[in-house]
Amino acid sequence: MDAVDVIRTKRDHGTLSDAQIDWVIDAYTRGVVADEQMSALAMAILLNGMTPAEIARWTAAMIASGERLDLTAITRPTADKHSTGGVGDKITLPLAPLVAACGVAVPQLSGRGLGHTGGTLDKLESIPGWRARVSNADFVAQLNSVGAVVCAAGDGLAPADRKLYALRDVTGTVEAIPLIASSIMSKKIAEGAGVLVLDVKVGTGAFMKSVEQARELAETMVSLGTAHGVRTVALLTDMSTPLGLTAGNALEVRESLEVLAGGGPADVVELTLALAREMLAGAGRTGIDPADALRDGRAMDVWNAMIVAQGGDPAAELPTARETHVVSAPASGTLTRLDALAVGVAAWRLGAGRARKEDPVSAGAGVVMRAKPGDPVVQGQPLLELHADDPARFGRALEALEGGYDIGAEHEPTELVIDRLA
Ligand code: URA
């Protein structure tokens, strides 16, 4: 096999053979195919696409590049959730303990944030003592004892994707549906859960800006999961405005605790329950209402056990930023738009996110929203509260928010869950 032949096939709109795909993924993982060759191939895939059969084989080859977690020792059914990423998306935090409290084990390998979307591990790391790294043996033991683990993926899982994703990030080839779908699904299938619920975000704060694109990504991922024996369902959900009232690491943990205590913002509760119901139904646990486990404290008990099992202190004070700056409503009326991307970029610039993988994040930084679209506002009232350790960060965050909200008369309510694909 020759990398140049594989690149030429895709460049000239051809279909890659199974043998070409198996070889190129394996050779790239071993360093035999060079980064510049793989980036040319990734660009050819972005421009010319892949057939469903090519995507399936590409995904299988990425799974085969590493280990598959063996969850056969788990006594309960297993279900996992993946979100394609959004602003204020803290759903994993209440969802994992909630589903575990309803009798389904949740093995959840999560990531760190890059750019304007936050990462679940960054959020949890704002809890004093909490560790993201868990060995495979402890992972299985915690799933059996507590019922939920949220942790970093080990290096052994889909190493081809680890290398390829880093390359795509710097070569303008992230936004290819075959590459996004195979990247996400290779990791999720290797993780070994029996059920997978995908939260595919649509809107300004998401990867996929249109419902059509999001539907194509969701359909591709659902068929990959199903072909590998994972019961897979996708919800398309709105990401034109942030989820909940906070964007930022410790701020989002606080909001998640409100949900686990039976309160919290209505949209966060709605999406947490919608995803929980899908996970429970996929695992055969019908007839259980997850709302009960939020009301009666069972989900909070699992949260506390999950945090303690990974070295965290659930009773410890969460960090707060040193400085705050309030953005006031410039007029009275109804908040008709609050743009997810604007808030996400502002939170990122305040220190909640990172520009490069190695950058540290500020646990306390972020944005608190004092109003959401549809809420009445009075001129001069606080609209947004910016939190940062360094006041020099406020200027650039305020620039990100310029044009990011409208106050008017009529607000058109939108559905949070736009569609369901199975
Ligand atoms: N998340 C992933 O894991 N991979 C992608 O390609 C995009 C988002």
How far is 22 from 45, CA to CA, in rounded Å? 16
377 within 8 A of 346, measured Cβ to Cβ: no
Better-predicted residue by pLDDT, 182 or 116:
182
* Catalytic residue chosen out of the listed positions 57, 112, 168, 201: 168
Query: Which residue type, as a one-letter code, is found at position 149?
Result: V
334 C-alpha to ligand 1 centroid (Å): 36
Nearest to 412 by CA among 337, 333, 331, 343: 337
241 within 8 A of 201, measured Cβ to Cβ: no
* Catalytic residue chosen out of the listed positions 82, 90, 277, 349: 82
CA end-to-end distance (rounded Å), the chain: 38
169 C-alpha to ligand 1 centroid (Å): 10
- Bridge partner list, 334: 376, 408
Q: What is the pLDDT of residue 174?
A: 86
Residue nearest to atom 7 of ligand 1 (CA): 180
Nearest to 318 by CA among 267, 242, 249: 249
145 C-alpha to ligand 1 centroid (Å): 30
183 labelled catalytic:
yes
Task: Please state the pTM of the whole predicted model.
Answer: 0.95
What pLDDT band is residue 144 in, cutting at 50, 70 and 90? very high
The minimum-distance atom of ligand 1 relative to the CA of 111 is: 3
6 within 8 A of 42, measured Cβ to Cβ: no
User: And the tokens for 247?
Assistant: 């964007």
How far is 417 from 211, CA to CA, in rounded Å? 12
User: And the tokens for 422?
Assistant: 């199975």
The minimum-distance atom of ligand 1 relative to the CA of 179 is: 6
* Catalytic residue chosen out of the listed positions 187, 188, 298, 393: 187
Mutation probe of ligand 1 site: the residue of 108, 170, 180 with most atoms within 8 A of C-beta: 180
Chain centroid to Cα 363, Å, comes to: 18
Per-residue pLDDT tens over the stretch 10-31: 999 999 999 999 999 999 999 9
Residue nearest to atom 2 of ligand 1 (CA): 184
| Mean pLDDT rounded to a whole number for the chain | 95
Nearest to 230 by CA among 35, 10, 422, 21: 422
Per-residue pLDDT tens over the stretch 334-382: 999 999 999 999 999 999 998 777 788 999 999 999 999 999 999 999 9
Residue with tokens 């109804």, as numbered in its chain:
334
362 labelled catalytic:
no
- Could you give the domains of the chain? 3-49 (1.20.970.10), 79-155+164-309 (3.40.1030.10), 323-408 (3.90.1170.30)
Any idea what the Cα angle at residue 316 is, between residues 311 and 320, rounded to 5°?
115
Element of type H or E holding 327: strand 323-328
121 within 8 A of 153, measured Cβ to Cβ: no
CB within 8 A of 410, min separation 6: which ones?
334, 336
Element of type H or E holding 220: helix 211-227
What pLDDT band is residue 123 in, cutting at 50, 70 and 90? very high
Q: What is the pLDDT of residue 280?
A: 98
Per-residue pLDDT tens over the stretch 241-263: 999 999 999 999 999 999 999 99
Averaged pLDDT, 257-271: 98
The three-state (H, E, C) secondary structure of 26-75, written as one string: HHHHCCCCCHHHHHHHHHHHHHHCCCHHHHHHHHHHHHHCCCCCCCCCCC
265 C-alpha to ligand 1 centroid (Å): 28
Nearest to 364 by CA among 388, 390, 342, 346: 388
CB within 8 A of 254, min separation 6: which ones?
246, 318
On the question of pLDDT at 297 being above 80, the answer is: yes
Residue nearest to atom 1 of ligand 1 (CA): 184
Q: What is the pLDDT of residue 116?
A: 75
Helices (H), 233-349: 249-260, 266-282, 290-295, 298-309, 340-347
On the question of pLDDT at 114 being above 70, the answer is: no
184 C-alpha to ligand 1 centroid (Å): 5
How far is 355 from 360, CA to CA, in rounded Å? 9
* Catalytic residue chosen out of the listed positions 39, 83, 126, 183: 183
- Residues with CB under 6 Å of ligand 1 are 165, 174, 179-180, 183-184
The CA R_g of the chain, rounded to the nearest whole Å, is: 21
180 C-alpha to ligand 1 centroid (Å): 5
Residue nearest to atom 3 of ligand 1 (CA): 184
Helices first, then strands: H and E counts in the chain: 16, 13
How far is 157 from 178, CA to CA, in rounded Å? 19
Averaged pLDDT, 418-422: 97
39 labelled catalytic:
no
Residue nearest to atom 6 of ligand 1 (CA): 180
146 C-alpha to ligand 1 centroid (Å): 28
The minimum-distance atom of ligand 1 relative to the CA of 180 is: 6
Per-residue pLDDT tens over the stretch 186-238: 999 999 999 999 999 999 999 899 999 999 999 999 999 999 999 999 999 99
Per-residue pLDDT tens over the stretch 58-91: 999 999 999 999 999 999 999 999 999 899 999 9
User: And the tokens for 303?
Assistant: 């949260």
243: region left, alpha or beta (phi > 0 left; psi from -120 to 50 alpha) = beta
* Catalytic residue chosen out of the listed positions 161, 238, 267, 339: 161
Q: What is the pLDDT of residue 357?
A: 73
Least confident of 57-71, 157-171, 192-206, 316-330: 157-171
Buried residues in 55-70 as b, exposed as e (16+ CB within 10 A): bbbbbbbbbbbbbebe
237 C-alpha to ligand 1 centroid (Å): 17
On the question of pLDDT at 314 being above 70, the answer is: yes
The minimum-distance atom of ligand 1 relative to the CA of 187 is: 3
